[in-house]
Amino acid sequence: MAALPAAGLGSLSSPVRAQPKPELMRVWPGGKGWPSETEWQELARSVEGRLTKLHSSLDVCRTAPAGPACRELFRELKNPYFIGDDPSLTQTTGWLDAWETQTSAYVVAAQSTADVVAAVNFAREKKLRLVVRGGAHSYLGTSNAYHSLMIWTRHMADIVLHDAFVPSGCADKAPEPAASIGPGAIWMHTYDAVTTRGGRYVQGGGCGTVGVAGLVQGGGFGSYSKNFGTAAGNLLEAEVVTADGAVRIANACTNSDLFWALKGGGGGTFGVVTRLTLRTHALPPFFGFASVVIDARSDDSFRKLVRRFLDFYAERLVNPNWGEIANVRPHRRLDIQMSFQGLTAEEAQALWQPFLQWVSAAPQEFDVVKAPAIRAVPARHRWDPQFLKRNAPGAIRSDDRPGASDANIFWAANVSEAGHFIEDFQSLWLPAALLSEPQRDRLTTALLAAAQHSTVELHFQKGLFGGSEQAIRDARDTATNPAMIDAFALAIVASEAPPAYAGMSGHLPDLERGRRNAAAVRAAFACLFAEVKPRGACYVAESEYFLLDWQDAYWGPNYPRLRAVKQKYDPDSVFFVRHGVGSEGWSDDGFSRFKD
């Protein structure tokens, strides 16, 4: 990742706190201390030839931007499996006025923990910039860096189911069903293994091509988090290679401080995770979906619609059964795309009937643009590739490369995220107090003001208010900002563009459009922030690049404890990511200010 100037885009957060600067200095190609060819060959032998000098697949576009090879590359940039299998590419191609994707100097395509140990030791001893890449979904660009050594865990993707797992050293704990998952696994394959074939549920993310390890370390959420909790809250044990090259088991009984930090403290910060073991749950009978798109014919009608939906949500949907999104869009549109578990389709339809009848009773005020659809599927088929191809072909896309696995599917709703270029991204957790009857008018006003500029997405599954007792109890024992426990939703305002790269003729970002959209995002967010004014807490994986007081925003009162864990296991910051624990004082790319 190479950081670029902020172009005057400020933050709505408070100023960053002064911190001591790190002592470790990185080396630069051609500078004093950069490994010789002989030393690189020694590393290659230690990892059994799995070291590669990396060249960017984008080079074909730099030499022939209108050529057939470049056209094919950009077509495949909408295929997340293609991106995931190429260590020179990233799921996010860059961020306006913030960062652009950069190719590592070398990559270790790790297939074992021993490969990871060798790479960590080499990077530490040679003072190299080190990056860790699993699923490569990083809005902040943390899975790539110029002139770095990349540890690529894509090939460490084994998934093993346990009927009765007991964490190492925890003999007094009762065995429970679990799944041990390699750091290169993605959620679509994990759900297929655990749910389709194993008949259990594991709490992961909604976007199926996100990496398992990154989501857990980021404290990630999924469609059913209000019932099953966060991914981090379900972690039972991790194997991790720390900065000293040691292989450590981390769980509630062994290295418990490191275990806690891995549960939401940020990926690529405390070490390289080489195995995760997550609790699995009994499947509900059904998983389901509820959607409808409604346009209001006037501003007054739109206010009525948004307020009525907030009433309906507060009275009927704030419980472990419901998650996913309602979008308050410009031009007076309410777009509802929600998921449920634990209910039949008939029960869900009965639940929604009062709201839908209220809308249909006022055709002079509302137009139903997309008819209500409320469906349920047997839970075991929720991520079943063959079932989905037969019964919901429009909901999925497939990896179109010759010889690709039939299991390589992804949600059509996530196509825009493949290879996207971010123009701006803002988020904050909305406290449950705003959903109380006295505050709903205020919340409605804020949402309507914001939607005059840009869409506001309300991600209900990314706040645990109304969730199950176990989900909340487990979340309290993670490093994630506890503000998410009392939040009913995460509000996101963002804008993205198709794949684009700075400096690449024919495929440049549209800066005029991007800055216009970024201004609209910030105007919308300012309306929400100014009128709602919660404490500015947000989710580490989905947040503003230019956030100033990120320590408090991401981790709140947990940050001092995380800082102590970082100092214990990685005092020299061998592992560095932007806005990661202990990154105070570093330049944005982690080493350029300290090069020889």
The helix or strand, by DSSP H or E, that contains position 353, with its residue range, turns out to be: helix 345-360
Identify whether residues 20 and 168 lie together within a single domain: no
Same structural domain, 136 and 220: no
pLDDT interval class at 336 (50, 70, 90): very high
Residue of higher predicted confidence among 170 and 10:
170
Q: Which domain holds residue 107?
A: 2-154+550-594
Paired sense of beta strands 487-497 and 409-411, if any? unpaired
165 plus 310 within the same structural domain? no
Phi/psi at 217 (5° precision): -70, -25
Q: DSSP readout, 126-160? A: HT--EEEESS---TT-TT--TTPEEEE-TT---EE
In a domain, 115, yes or no: yes
pLDDT band of residue 158 (cuts 50, 70, 90) is very high
Return the pLDDT at 469.
Answer: 98
| Percent of the chain topping pLDDT 90 | 87
Q: Any idea what the CATH number is for the domain that residue 409 is in?
A: 3.40.462.20
Residues 484 and 408 in one domain: yes
CA 310/CA 436 separation, integer angstroms:
10
Q: With 60 as the cut, is the pLDDT of residue 19 above it?
A: no
- Residues 354, 392 within the same domain: yes
- Confidence check: pLDDT of 42 > 90: yes
pLDDT at 6 over 60: no
pLDDT score recorded for residue 533: 61
Max Cα separation, the chain? 77
Looking at beta carbons, which pairs linking 382-391 to residues 24 or more positions away fall under 8 Å?
A: 382/191, 382/195, 382/287, 383/188, 383/191, 383/192, 383/195, 383/196, 383/208, 384/192, 384/195, 384/196, 385/192, 385/196, 385/409
What pLDDT is stored for residue 530 in this prediction? 79
Q: Please tell me whether residues 71 and 120 are part of one structural domain.
A: yes
Residue range 118-139, pLDDT digits in tens: 999 999 999 999 999 998 789 9
Q: If you average pLDDT over residues 328-353, what whole number do you get?
A: 98
C-alpha distances in Å from residue 433, one per residue of 6, 436, 463: 34, 5, 13
- pLDDT (tens digit, 9 = 90+) per residue, 166-219? 999 999 999 999 999 999 999 999 999 999 999 999 999 999 999 999 999 999
pLDDT at 400 over 50: yes
pLDDT digits (tens, 9 = 90+) for 218-265: 999 999 999 999 999 999 999 999 999 999 999 999 999 999 999 999
* Contacts of residue 584, Cβ cutoff 8 Å, sequence gap at least 6: 16, 17, 19, 20, 21
* Residue 270 pLDDT: 97
Residues 270 and 335 in one domain: no
Residue 482 covered by a domain = yes
Answer whether residue 538 is part of any domain: no
Does the structure show a pLDDT above 80 at 595?
Answer: no
pLDDT band at 15 (very low <50, low <70, confident <90, very high): very low
pLDDT band at 149 (very low <50, low <70, confident <90, very high): very high
pLDDT of residue 263: 98
Model confidence at 589, pLDDT cuts 50, 70, 90, reads low
Domain stop point among 230, 256, 282: 282
pLDDT, residue 23, reads: 53
Say if residue 137 is in the same domain as residue 211: no
Residue 537 lies in a domain: no
pLDDT band for position 592 (50/70/90)? very low
Asked if residue 542 is part of any domain, the answer here is no
Arithmetic mean of pLDDT, 403-418: 95
Instruction: Report the chain's mean pLDDT, rounded to a whole number.
Output: 92
| CATH number, position 203 | 3.30.465.10
Closest CA to 237 of 192, 309, 175, 305: 175
Report pLDDT for 587.
64
Place of tokens 């705003």: 434
**Whole-prediction pTM value?**
0.94
Q: What single-letter DSSP state applies at residue 193?
A: I
Orientation of helix 440-451 relative to helix 299-312, angle to 10°: 130
Of the three residues 499, 532, 565, the one that is the final residue of a domain is 532
Q: Is the pLDDT of residue 5 over 60?
A: no
Structural domains in the chain (count): 3
Residues 210 and 136 in one domain: no
Shared domain check, 354 and 450:
yes
Encode pLDDT of 84-130 as tens digits.
999 999 999 999 999 999 999 999 999 999 999 999 999 999 999 99
Question: Do 237 and 141 reside in the same domain of the chain?
Answer: no
Looking up residue 563, the CATH number of its domain turns out to be: 3.30.43.10
Per-residue pLDDT band for 582 (boundaries 50, 70, 90) equals very high
Does the CA dihedral 538-544-545-549 come out positive or negative? Answer: negative
Phi and psi at residue 517, to the nearest 5°: -70, -40
Strands 130-133 and 149-152: parallel
Give the confidence band of 143 by pLDDT, cuts at 50, 70, 90: confident
Checking if the pLDDT of 308 tops 60, the result is yes
- Residue 132 domain-assigned? yes
Are 13 and 130 in the same domain? yes
- Residue 390 binned pLDDT confidence (cut-offs 50, 70, 90): very high
Tell me the C-alpha distance between 206 and 220, whole Å: 10
User: Residue 521 — pLDDT band, cuts 50, 70, 90?
Assistant: very high
User: Is the pLDDT confidence value at 2 over 50?
Assistant: no
- Residue among 324, 210, 189, 202 at smallest CA distance from 267: 210
Task: Give the range among 143-152, 170-179, 304-313 with minimum mean pLDDT.
Answer: 143-152
pLDDT given for residue 77 in this prediction: 96
Distance separating alpha carbons of residues 109 and 47, to the nearest angstrom: 9
Residue 593 pLDDT > 50? no
**Average pLDDT estimate for 54-81:** 95
Helices 345-360 and 299-312: crossing angle in degrees, nearest 10, is 150
- Vertex 270 angle, CA 125 and 554, to 5°: 140
Segment 347-360 mean pLDDT: 98
Whether 544 is in a domain gets the answer no
**Among residues 7, 11, 1, 2, which one has the least CA distance to residue 545?**
11
Residue 407 structure tokens: 């299991």
Chosen domain end from 484, 499, 532: 532
pLDDT in tens, 443-453: 999 999 999 99
pLDDT digit string (tens) for 439-491?
Answer: 999 999 999 999 999 999 999 999 999 999 999 999 999 999 999 999 999 99
Quick check: is 539 in a domain?
A: no
